[in-house]
Amino acid sequence: MIRQIQQNKLLQKLSPQQIQLVKLLEIPTLEMNERILQEVDENPALELGENLDLEKEEDLMPEDESVGDNEDFSLDEYASDDDIPDYKSQMSSGGTPEERRERIPSSSNTSLNEYLIEQLDLHELDDKSKKIAEYIIGNIDEDGYLRSNSESISDDLAIINGLNVTTEEIEELILIIQQFDPPGVAACDLKECLILQLNRKTCTKVVRESITLLENHFDDFAKKHYESIIKKMGCTMDELKLMIQEIVRLNPKPGSVFESTLEQSMKQVSPDFILENNDGFLSLTLNNSNVPELHISRKYLEMVNDYKANVKNQTRESKEAIQFAKEKVDSAKWFIDSVRQRQETLMRTMKAIVDYQYEYFTDGDEKHLKPMILKDIAGKTGYDISTISRVSNSKYIQTEFGIFPLKYFFTEGMQTDSGEEVSALEIKTILQQSVDTEDKTDPITDEQLSAILSGKGYVIARRTIAKYRDQLGIPVARLRREL
């Protein structure tokens, strides 16, 4: 039986120039130089180097509107990356050192994204499918998970790339990527990640039973309800132990083999901003050391203006050539203006963050880190929350205390029993320290953690403790117990 369903779906159509600005906002400094060189290579009207004849060039500029005049441009239709849930694992084991070493690519400097693209190039796909697959890979996080569902990927491809793609096409490509190394990559959650890895193993009885356990009794497994599993599966305790041994050898974060610690990733970070403290006066600059100057080719500008002066005397061929030149000049103008708007947006946003967290940036004491959310900075800058999110993602600032991702400075807040407002980061630090020093044979419960914080002046509900513990990737006390 065939059914027809009518569905209304509102999508805002963005101009190519607006989409260009969105994409440039997301690019970190380390990649900006490469993006500019790519544009220069594709557009002969765009040239590198400082323009030494600015006044004359302005006289030659075609009188078109600049994209910089688009004051009503909104980025609200793009989902914030802050809505993506953090990775949560019930396991700490990533396999034996030997097993993990086998999954690491030959080049230690290769990123997960690059490694997946290398494998994608080995598959014979048409141009459209390859573009979709590359976008899917771009959405895989550093742990190796694909958090975006096929419907949201389809919407993004329609808005940003102008591609009409069905969810079925996307899911077929996801299945292909899930066959790439490292095993378990592109899974939507921990359960799928572990099953993908087991499916790559030799199909022994234990492997088959382990897959059945995860597919049908994952919640019981995660909560260590072993008696319930034995009853439901009709297996013995020894058989269950073999399944658990098989599962815990898997890697819950397949992407972690590329960057195992924050310190390792920091070594490859080029800061987008540089903050200097001169006797209490904070000086903020945008790191443009690798970003070249751009200007429009004088030759192309003269071609366009010569045509305007002699429009009646042009042949068909010359008109086509001039039309090509004008398109390239317009494109160069839009790109230069987008780069300028990117710099202005980055600086305005970072300045608002520094002003908001001024006390912290003067001494680096985490206790002085005020509660701050995207909405706070959006209110100070006048930008949309989605714009602040894009500026904050994949951007870093160099301070005298080290290099930090901008997301580090965004944190919720609460009040102490004395009415003082403190950052959630301070609370999380105490929670982490308490768990790190606990007796593992008798772990601290959420109620006990709440009492510890209460004794320090932080009156926090147990459900809030559970939320912060979950964000830190700390399992409940029962799952932290060691025999």
Per DSSP, the residues of 405-437 read EGGGG-B-EEE-TTS-EEEHHHHHHHHHHHHHT
The reported pLDDT for the residue numbered 479 is 79
**H or E stretch covering 276:** strand 273-278
DSSP 372: B
The reported pLDDT for the residue numbered 197 is 95
DSSP 146: B
Q: What is the pLDDT of residues 16-34, one digit of tens each?
A: 777 778 888 888 877 888 8
The greatest distance separating any two alpha carbons of the chain, rounded to the nearest whole angstrom, comes to: 93
CA 211 to mean position of chain CA atoms: 31
Q: What is the pLDDT of residues 360-415, one digit of tens each?
A: 899 887 778 888 888 889 999 999 888 888 888 888 999 998 888 898 888 766 65
Q: Whole-angstrom Cα distance, residue 394 to residue 138?
A: 13
Distances (CA, A) of 45 to 24, 48, 311, 364, 482: 20, 10, 21, 46, 67
DSSP 189: S
> Which amino acid, 430?
I
Report strand pairing: 421-423 vs 46-48.
Answer: unpaired
Q: Are 302 and 296 in contact (CB under 8 A)?
A: no
- The ranges assigned to domains in the chain are 10-78+267-411, 82-257, 413-480
| Cβ neighbours, 10 Å, residue 468 | 21
| pLDDT confidence tier of residue 210, bands split at 50, 70 and 90 | very high
- Mean pLDDT over 319-346 rounds to 88
Distances (CA, A) of 364 to 401, 409, 442: 6, 12, 35
Q: Are 402 and 366 in contact (CB under 8 A)?
A: no
Q: Is the pLDDT of residue 260 over 70?
A: no
Q: Whole-angstrom Cα distance, residue 304 to residue 301?
A: 5
Q: What is the pLDDT of residues 153-195, one digit of tens each?
A: 998 888 777 888 899 999 999 999 999 999 999 999 999 999 9
Q: 26: Cβ–Cβ under 8 A, 6 or more apart, which residues? A: 390, 393, 394
Question: 450: buried, middle or exposed (CB in 10 Å: 19+, 13-18, 0-12)?
Answer: buried
The reported pLDDT for the residue numbered 4 is 54
Report strand pairing: 273-278 vs 396-399.
Answer: parallel
In this prediction the pTM is 0.49
* Fold category of 413-480 in CATH: Arc Repressor Mutant, subunit A (1.10.10)
Q: Is the pLDDT of residue 89 over 90?
A: no
CA-nearest of 102, 252, 114 to 184 is 252
Q: What is the pLDDT of residues 405-463, one digit of tens each?
A: 898 888 766 656 655 566 677 788 888 888 888 888 888 888 888 888 888 777 777 88
Buried b (16+ CB within 10 A) or exposed e, 248-268: eebbbbbbbbbbeeeeeeeee
The reported pLDDT for the residue numbered 163 is 84
Q: Is the pLDDT of residue 328 over 80?
A: yes
